[in-house]
Amino acid sequence: MLIAYIHFLSTVFMLGLIWFVQIVHYPLFSKVGISRSSEYQAEHQKRTSWVVGVPMLIEAVTAIWLVIEPTNGRLLPFIGFLILIKVQLSTVILQVPAHSKLIDGYTNEKISSLVRSNWIRTVGWTARSVIATLIVANG
């Protein structure tokens, strides 16, 4: 059960963080002046990696662990793992390139694209948090 609790904590941490990013942080990119946007984006990427790197790694390792050694059935951990793959693919395929484009300077179109595509992760971590809660509650 310890792995299930660690998984729950890392997933819920990412849930809170992604909702903050979706509703507050990403939309505020449009308030950064174009003259400082490249510098701001570079610093954003550097600082963000420190905040999300370890929780995302812990979440991934514990998700795999729960698929291999489930605490109370395989279905919920497997569904949660599939959603995590989608979230991670979205990060690599959509969000990382979107942030790279912002290094060249902000436009409303680039920021709107980032906010829209980030809903994949926001919905994914919301669903994962429900699943992680159920895994712990049923354990």
Kindly report, residue by residue over 76-109, the tens digit of the pLDDT: 999 999 999 999 999 999 999 999 898 888 888 9
- Reported as a single tens digit per residue, the pLDDT across 13-35 is 999 999 999 999 999 998 888 88
How far from the centroid of its chain's Cα atoms is residue 42's Cα? 19
CA atoms within 13 A on the CB side of 106: 21
Contact 63, 84 (CB under 8 A): yes
In degrees to the nearest 10, what's the CA dihedral of 42, 48, 53, 55?
-170
Give the residue numbers spanning the domain of 52: 2-138
- Count structural domains, the chain: 1
Q: Is residue 38 predicted with pLDDT exceeding 90?
A: no
